[in-house]
Amino acid sequence: MKTRTRAELFLLSCTIIWGGTFVVVKGGLEDSPPFLFVAIRFAVATLLFLPFVAKGLLTMSKASLRGGLIVGVLLFLGFLAQTTGLLYTTASKSGFITGLLVVFTPIFQIVIERRLPKIGNVIGIFLVTVGLYFLTSPAGSEFNLGDGLTLACAMVFGLYIVYLDVYSRKGNTMHLAFMQFAVTGLGAMIVSIAFEEMSVRLTANFLEAIAYLALLATLYTLTVQTKYQKDTTPTRAAIIFSIEPVFAAVFAYFFRQEIIGTVGIIGGIFVVGGLLVSELSDMIFRRAAANEEGTSD
């Protein structure tokens, strides 16, 4: 299996897990304020990950430290915006709007890395954008505070993907992953102490939510993303992540009885179509170029 194909399959597994987080977080927020919820999630992930990196922390390179701080702050801001937004919007709608990161990622990629996306990626982005429009505007309720916070989250996550691509090539991926967990957990705890009443109901629902989020949606996914995203492009990674709203809608339907309707289903088809075009673009355009060359000969 090719390195990029393997990496993208791992990234897809992350996307499926993240699709379930919207339902899980929505339920967990019934027992905890949002900032404290994020703090506990990442504190647990940090403690679980610590034994794997403890020996090397004292010798962490400046690149890993600097990169970890930068992507950690971006991750912290993104999760705070997304989690708070879920107080005011539905799980399925939050997933759809978060998917707009596919629009912001190539913009930041052009500005920061001076790397233009390929034509297939551009077509994929267009299809995904159309799909996300169908999934949000016509079929959903009017734009509210939760939607605005989630849109800000999508922008931050787009920037996060690009900077993760930059720093995962320079530093130790394990150290970089650990720094992200620690910075996000610490930042969320500071904000929680400053602005929230720190009270949690230790229900079975809350404990199950923290277990899912800390083990699967944080420890596994961010470690995998940090390790494998460098083996593909930021735009292709964003396209893969853009299918997350479809999984979010499926989980929301089965576990919270949220219905997106016919227009939402059409939007989902566009999202999947955009993913496939982006993923198959290299092969399609390479074959077309080969055929054209063969014809000219």
Digit-coded pLDDT (tens) for 176-211: 889 999 999 999 999 999 999 889 999 999 999 999
Res 245: pLDDT = 80
Q: Are 237 and 229 in contact (CB under 8 A)?
A: yes
The candidate with the shortest Cα–Cα distance to 241, out of 71, 126, 68, 125, is: 125
Average pLDDT over residues 140-153: 83
Amino acid at 92: S
- H-assigned helices in the chain: 3-28, 34-53, 62-85, 91-98, 101-113, 119-136, 145-168, 173-195, 204-211, 221-228, 234-241, 244-256, 261-296
Res 233: pLDDT = 83
Res 267: pLDDT = 81
d(CA 274, CA 4): 18
Distances (CA, A) of 72 to 125, 167, 196, 218, 247: 26, 11, 22, 13, 25
Distances (CA, A) of 275 to 13, 91, 132, 226: 14, 22, 12, 21
d(CA 154, CA 82): 8
Give the pair of three-digit tokens for residue 158. Answer: 């787009």
Q: Residue 284 — very low, low, confident or very high, per pLDDT cuts 50/70/90?
A: low
Res 236: pLDDT = 81
Q: Are 20 and 217 in contact (CB under 8 A)?
A: yes
The candidate with the shortest Cα–Cα distance to 179, out of 39, 52, 297, 70, is: 70
Q: Are 121 and 281 in contact (CB under 8 A)?
A: yes
Helix (H, G, I), strand (E, B) or coil at 258: coil
C-alpha 94, offset from chain centre:
12
Res 297: pLDDT = 57
Which of 10-19, 28-37, 268-277 is least confident? Answer: 268-277
The candidate with the shortest Cα–Cα distance to 238, out of 101, 96, 98, 75, is: 101
